[in-house]
């Protein structure tokens, strides 16, 4: 359960949690039972106010957070695989993430073939964390579409990893 989330049309063309609210209109979904940090940005093109809410994952679950600013990134239950390789070492594949923005999609040749991917970054500190698989050109890789890679170099385990 996520207490606060920003939904927006990402530059990658999909509606997803926490996408780049500075470039696209955002709709905030709120849950009145919890607290969140709020920042407001004014768009210079149409002078509308856009609020970005940081999502907080439940304290009772094991979570992964940004190592640079400690913003929550993913719940352990959303982890699909630990056997991926990023540009800076090992990386994990997640079904969904929070507090993450998407860059523009581009085609890249990765270890498993040609994919259309979009870099993802922490909404709080703007650090590039990994990428989102937008499209897989090989049928054996289709399971990755819409999933997120976060490199271990950019995340830390929190909440109950005894």
- In order, the DSSP letters of the chain are --SEEEEEE-TTSSEEET--TTTS-EEEEE-TTS---EEEEE-TTT--EEEEE-----TTS-EEEETTT--EEEEGGGEEEEEEEETTEEEEEES--SSEEEEEEEEEEETTEEEEEEEEEETTT--EEEEEEEEESSGGGGGGTT-EEEEGGGEEEESS--
What is the pLDDT at residue 46?
47
Dump pLDDT digits (tens) for 27-74. 333 333 333 333 333 334 444 544 455 777 776 678 999 999 999 999
pTM of the model: 0.66
Between 20-29, 71-80, 84-93, 145-154, the lowest mean confidence (pLDDT) is in 20-29
What is the pLDDT at residue 158?
85
């Amino acid at each position: 359960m996520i207490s606060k989330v920003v939904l927006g049309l990402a530059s990658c063309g999909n509606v997803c949690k926490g996408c780049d609210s500075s470039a696209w209109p955002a709709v905030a979904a709120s849950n009145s039972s919890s607290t969140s940090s709020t920042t407001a940005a004014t768009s210079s093109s149409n002078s509308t106010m856009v609020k970005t809410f940081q999502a907080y994952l439940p304290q009772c679950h094991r979570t992964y957070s940004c190592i640079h600013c400690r913003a929550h990134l993913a719940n352990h239950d959303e982890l699909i695989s630990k056997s991926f390789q990023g540009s800076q070492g090992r990386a994990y594949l997640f079904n969904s993430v929070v507090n993450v923005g998407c860059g523009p999609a581009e085609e890249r040749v990765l270890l498993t073939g040609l994919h259309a991917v979009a870099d993802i970054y922490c909404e709080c500190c703007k650090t590039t964390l990994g990428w989102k698989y937008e499209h897989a050109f090989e049928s054996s890789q289709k399971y990755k579409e819409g999933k997120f890679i976060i490199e271990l170099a950019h995340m830390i385990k929190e909440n109950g990893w005894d």
